């Protein structure tokens, strides 16, 4: 029902999934592609690629708002040096706590400062 094509490019992989038969009549079964795309990546490259782009809509044999007849996922090879440097940068950057106040505390501080009367 669905045609899966995996092509190796210079930078990584391109996975194309398309429907072979489009639903024309209401008595034909509606089908949606639900398989995990990462299973199509060859074993030796799993964990060494990252997802660059993916379709916003799902692949199916009938038209719809969030459905399409063809979709392409693009994966890019990750070198070990790049991933290590990015991981250390993320770990070493300190996170600053957010300074937030609730509406109630803002309201009470505003009312205290604006309504003080001097005699």
Q: How far apart are CA 104 and CA 11, in angstroms?
A: 54
| 7 torsion bin: left (phi>0), alpha (psi -120 to 50), beta (else) | beta
Task: Tell me whether strands 70-77 and 12-19 are parallel, antiparallel or unpaired.
Answer: antiparallel
73-99 pLDDT per residue, tens? 999 998 755 544 455 555 566 667 777
Calpha distance 8→11 (Å, rounded): 8
Tens digits of per-residue pLDDT, 18-66? 999 999 999 999 999 999 999 999 899 888 899 999 999 999 999 889 9
């Amino acid at each position: 029902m669905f045609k899966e094509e995996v092509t190796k490019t210079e930078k990584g992989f391109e996975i194309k999934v398309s429907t072979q038969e489009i639903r024309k009549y209401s008595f034909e079964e509606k089908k949606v592609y639900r398989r995990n795309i990462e299973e199509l990546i060859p074993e030796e490259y799993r964990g060494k690629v990252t997802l660059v782009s993916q379709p916003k809509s799902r692949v199916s044999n009938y038209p719809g708002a969030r459905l399409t007849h063809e979709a392409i996922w693009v994966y890019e090879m990750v070198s070990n040096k790049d991933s290590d440097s990015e991981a250390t940068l993320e770990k070493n950057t300190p996170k600053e706590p957010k300074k937030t106040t609730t509406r109630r505390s803002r309201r009470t501080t505003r009312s205290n400062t604006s309504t003080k009367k001097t005699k």
